[in-house]
Amino acid sequence: MMEITLQHYLVLSTLLFTIGLIGVMRRKNLLMLFFATEILLNAVNIAFAAISSYYGDLTGQMFAFFIIAIAASEVAVGLGLLVLWYKRTGKIDLDAMTSMRG
């Protein structure tokens, strides 16, 4: 069978990124929106690891580590805000968050 090149990994990464973007576009529930952003971050991580491996350079892996750290803190703060919002209003839909509309 044919060899797996860098392009294969980049195509896969693009595909997963597009799936994540579709999720961001169609979700109204904020929790599901968070899931879609996790997919986006993971797709980018694959591209970083692949480029790092094919160029024999560790910088890509380092960036992937920092992305994982940022994703973890994003989830902690985001879920905290989400729980707070749910306790106050009982809804986590995006449409309900229009309190600043003039």
**93 CB contacts (<8 Å, ≥6 apart)?**
28, 29, 30
Radius of gyration in angstroms for the set of CA atoms belonging to the chain, rounded to a whole number: 17
The kind and range of the H/E element at 36 are helix 30-54
String of contacts with another protein for each residue 78-97, x by CB under 8 A: -xxxxxx-xx----xxxx--
Stretch 58-77 residues interacting with another protein (CB under 8 A): 58-59, 61-62, 64-66, 68-77
Stretch 11-30 residues interacting with another protein (CB under 8 A): 12-29
Q: Name residue 15's beta-bridge partners.
A: none
Stretch 32-51 residues interacting with another protein (CB under 8 A): 32, 34-36, 38-39, 42, 45-47, 49-51
Looking at the Cβ atoms of 13 and 100, the one nearer to another protein is 13
